Chain A
Amino acid sequence: MQKPENHSHISDAANEVVVDIQHISKTFGDNEVLKDISLQVHRGENVVVLGKSGQGKSVTIQCIVGLLHPDSGSVKVFGDEVANLSDKKLKELRTKVGFLFQSGALYDSMTVRENLEFPLTRVLKMKDKQEIDNRVQEVLEGVGLIDAIDKMPSDLSGGMRKRVGLARTLIVKPEIMLYDEPTTGLDPITSREISQLILNMQKKYKTASIIITHDMECAKITGDRVVIMNEGEYIAEGTFDELESSDDELVSSFFNQTV
């Protein structure tokens, strides 16, 4: 388990901490979903948070983008305390952090093209039609869905919706990507494709990523580092292979349960 360190930027760019979560707790009613969680993510690193459903994994990444605020503890992104940011600063931060929702969260009244144009025109305030078109086509080619450009989200399969969601998130070239259960509800082949796509996108765009999942294959393909979460607490951390061969009863039982 990574211990808290009192720094937000390290001189070596590759080791720069981009997300620094320290001792956060969160309770909904009587249900304590996060218990003293700490996590650091470095630039260009893929961290997988592995755990069963309903363990507070998604709550952790929602705290990073300010959708939820922890009851206690600190969440710093690029050295800024998220809870203390003004609306303007929070908006600026969110342009640097991409969030892929479990369902893809495509705007269902818009075509795929309009979904992708939305962040370009509203967030980056791009005006040049040609430049927008080029950017849309580039990311759609990246996720292999250029033929779906004028389709409505309701015409797409689950896997395609996730790909378009990923394209929409990556189109603003974020520095950090947060994936909330990217392979949930997909067949094994499509899950593998999405996992491979996440890895390719990380290499192409040099993003740091937190991947929330309970899919072991996704964790194995995408994770540089894996953190295991159980009942609101981190119970182990290491590479996938280290954890897989762990003697710890809880860790191994977890692997046996979820494989």
Chain B
Amino acid sequence: MAEQALTGYRKWMEGVGEQGVFFARFFRNIFTGGFEWNEFVRQCYEIGYKSFMLVGLTSFIMGLVLILQLRPSMVEMGAESMLPKTLAVSFIREMGPVITAIICAGKIASSIGAELGSMKVTEQIDAMEVSGANPMQYLVVTRILATSLMVPLLALMGDVIGLFGGYLALNFTDAISFPLYFRKCISSLEFIDFLPALVKTVFFGFAIGFVGCYKGFHSDKGTESVGLAANSAVVTASLWIFVIDAFAVQLTNILFYN
């Protein structure tokens, strides 16, 4: 029993060490030249453009549902006019970034994990390595930087679309003009509502790309490992998103609200 626990602990520590080395290799490769611009742009397209519909639809529904859920309570408290403000603040600060990141973890981290895992199984990564090319530069740096750039952009678009969803929900029961709704939303927001939310989505994007690449790059040989790499990438990236979010909220409160 104790021996099993010790073996598990040792494996866990080895995993932490491997991730540290992978992290260091990633940063070293950013600055060693030969940046793969074409692959970076292709990854931005794959990650950003191809996730847009999914993120947009999810954000729209979440904005709509949030208003439908909030409305009865707000009406009861006589605070119906506060609905646009409540939605805007909660969506921009928290819901938009986290929903976008979770959707991206499911779609992108799994896809990167499976793709690189499959390349590992079919010896494509080894082939790249022994040819003298740099798989870290071509496969990892481009993907992590692309997720770090595209997840914040997707979150921004998701925020706007979520507010549209909220507008539609409000108009199920109340008639409110579009300009008035958006003026209420915008006037309730300050710069510090946007900035920390935007910054944390960069970290969400980084975590999604990093975990996907790490899991794929370190998958075992065998087809089963590809599925495991994809699955593990989603679970780990989702967990990291919540951990980063918890730290980000605390840090934002300390820096801006105390």
Contact = CB atoms under 8 A, between A and B. Distances in A.
A103 B133 contact: no
A97 B130 contact: yes
Interface of A: 65, 67, 91-92, 94-95, 97, 99, 101-103, 105-108, 118-119, 122-123, 165, 168-169, 172
A120 to B, nearest CB: 10
A119 B124 CA distance: 13
A105 B138 contact: no
B132 A119 contact: yes
A101 B126 contact: yes
B130 A94 contact: yes
B124 A123 contact: no
| 5 closest residue pairs by CB, A with B | A105-B127, A94-B132, A122-B133, A105-B123, A95-B132
Contacts of B130: 65, 67, 94, 97, 99
Contacts of B134: 91, 122
A164 B130 CA distance: 16
Contacts of A94: 129-132
A104 to B, nearest CB: 9
Give the size category of B's interface with A. Answer: 10 to 19
A101 B127 contact: yes
B122 interface: yes
Interface string B99-111: 0000000000000
B132 to A, nearest CB: 4
Contacts of A119: 131-133
A95 B134 CA distance: 12
B66 to A, nearest CB: 39
Given A105-B122, A108-B122, A122-B138, A99 B127 contact: yes
A98 B16 CA distance: 34
A108 B124 contact: yes
B122 A172 contact: no
A172 B133 CA distance: 12
A94 B131 CA distance: 6
20 contacts: A67-B129, A67-B130, A91-B132, A91-B134, A94-B132, A103-B122, A103-B123, A105-B123, A105-B124, A107-B127, A107-B128, A108-B119, A108-B122, A118-B128, A118-B131, A122-B34, A122-B133, A122-B134, A168-B131, A172-B132
B143 to A, nearest CB: 12
Contacts of B129: 67, 94
Given A99-B130, A101-B126, 4 more contacts: A91-B132, A94-B129, A103-B123, A105-B123
Among A92, A94, A168, find the residue whose CB has the most chain B CB atoms closer than 10 A.
A94
A66 to B, nearest CB: 8
